[in-house]
Amino acid sequence: MTVDSSHPETIVLHAGYRADGVTASVAVPIHQTTSYEFQSTQHAENLFALKELGNIYTRIMNPTCDILEKRIAALEGGVAALALSSGQSASTFAVLNLCQAGDNFVTSTDLYGGTWNLFANTFKQMGIDARFVDPSDPEAFRRACDARTRCFYAETLPNPKLNVFPIREVADIGRALGIPLIVDNTAAPILCRPFDHGAAVVVYSATKYIGGHGTSVGGLVVDGGNFDWEKHGERFPLLTQPDPSYHGAVWTEAVKPLGPIAYILRMRVTLLRDIGAAMSPFNAFMFLQGLETLPLRMRAHCENAVRVAAFLSGRPEVTKVIHPSLQGGAERRRADAHLKGGYGALVGFELKDGRAAGRRFIDGLKLFYHVANIGDARSLAIHPATTTHAQLSPEDQLASGVTEGYVRLSIGLEHIDDILADLDQALSQAS
Residues that bind ligand PLP (CB under 6 A): 86-88, 112, 114-115, 155, 184, 186-187, 205, 207, 217, 219, 374
Comparing every residue's Cβ against ligand PLP, the nearest one is: 87
- Residue among 217 and 413 whose Cβ is closer to ligand PLP: 217
Which DSSP helix (H) or strand (E) runs through 70? helix 63-76
Q: How far is the CB of 87 from ligand PLP (least distance, A)?
A: 2
Q: How far is the CB of 4 from ligand PLP (least distance, A)?
A: 32
Least CB distance to ligand PLP at residue 159 (A): 8
Dist. CA 398–CA 339, nearest whole Å: 27
Provide the CA 79 distance to its chain's centre, in angstroms.
17
Quote the strand ranges of 85-148, DSSP E. Answer: 104-108, 129-133
Supply the minimum distance, in Å, between the C-beta of residue 334 and ligand PLP. Answer: 17
Closest approach of ligand PLP to the CB of residue 374, in Å: 6
Nearer to ligand PLP, 173 or 187 (CB): 187
Distance of CA 96 to the CA centre of its chain: 16
- Of 90 and 264, the one with the shorter C-beta distance to ligand PLP is 90
Provide the Cα torsion 251, 255, 256, 262; round to 10°. -60
Q: Between residues 47 and 75, which has the closer beta carbon with respect to ligand PLP? A: 75
Nearer to ligand PLP, 165 or 251 (CB): 165
**Residue 290 parent element (H or E):** helix 281-292
> Which CB, 186 or 379, lies closer to ligand PLP?
186
Q: CB 114 → ligand PLP: shortest distance, Å? A: 5
DSSP 231-245: TTGGG-HHHHS-BGG
Quick one: which H or E segment has residue 174? helix 167-177
